[in-house]
Amino acid sequence: MSSIRNIVFDFGNVLFDLDLPAIGREIQRLVGDQYETVRERLQRSGVFELYETGGLTTEEFVDAIRLAGPAPLSAEQVTAAWNSIFIGMPRERFDMLLRLRQQYNVFLLSNINDLHATWIDDYMLREHGITDFQSRYFDGVYYSHLIRLRKPDREIYEYVLADAEILPQETLFIDDLEENVKAAREVGIQGVVKRAEVDVLALMDSLVLKM
């Protein structure tokens, strides 16, 4: 990896710790024994993918979940359930990003949505006093709901390469999902899967030694 000049990070469960099953648990708590019916109805409708690529407004998305069960939920209940996924981002990962930026171009590429992006901005200010998270820690940030593309579609990687004006062979991509890394490799990006049992600091320490 001696040719690496650019590092592209996924966000969830790479830089920011998530409890992925939390949303399902919270929705199940709210709708009870109708959970499977609600879950299947929402999956068939494609609302999650649509919201993640900017195809639905937040109000439309919340309403889709709110009205999917036998009795309407409140918007507040849906929002709280949707945001229950977040755990946090330890301070040392911020420091890692700043160190990497001294030698590399550092980017963020995330399948994300408006509610989650808003929650993260609030978290950065509330927990870390950071008002300029994106510009302070990254040379570029690519959120799926803003660019209307999502991983693992080939087009999102091509978009990032073109917009950032970087070469795939000089770019390293870190993601926690094998399918996303595989797709990045198919456009020539060097990809590494971040395993759940390995902290990203240890992973980057081992990789930087090879770059």
Backbone angles phi, psi at 91, to 5 degrees: -55, -35
CATH of the domain at 134: 3.40.50.1000
pLDDT of residue 210: 66
pLDDT of residue 173: 98
Q: Which ranges of 46-143 does DSSP label H, i.e. alpha helix?
A: 47-52, 58-66, 75-82, 91-101, 114-128, 133-137
Residue 12, beta-bridge partner list: 16
pLDDT of residue 1: 59
pLDDT of residue 187: 98
pLDDT along the chain (211 residues), means of 10: 89 97 94 91 94 97 93 95 97 97 97 98 97 97 98 98 98 98 98 96 86 62
Q: Are residues 98 and 137 in the same domain?
A: yes
Q: Which of 85, 103, 136 is the last residue of a domain?
A: 85
Q: Are residues 101 and 78 in the same domain?
A: no
Q: Are residues 121 and 184 in the same domain?
A: yes
Q: Are residues 94 and 182 in the same domain?
A: yes
Q: What total of structural domains would you count in the chain?
A: 2
pLDDT of residue 69: 87
Q: Are residues 74 and 94 in the same domain?
A: no
**8 Å CB contact between 17 and 88:** yes
Q: Provide the domain limits for residue 140.
A: 6-16+89-208
pLDDT of residue 163: 98
Q: Are residues 157 and 108 in the same domain?
A: yes
Q: Does any domain span residue 29?
A: yes
Q: Are residues 81 and 138 in the same domain?
A: no
Q: Are residues 72 and 165 in the same domain?
A: no
Angle at 149 between CA 171 and CA 155, to 5 degrees: 55
pLDDT of residue 70: 87
pLDDT of residue 209: 62
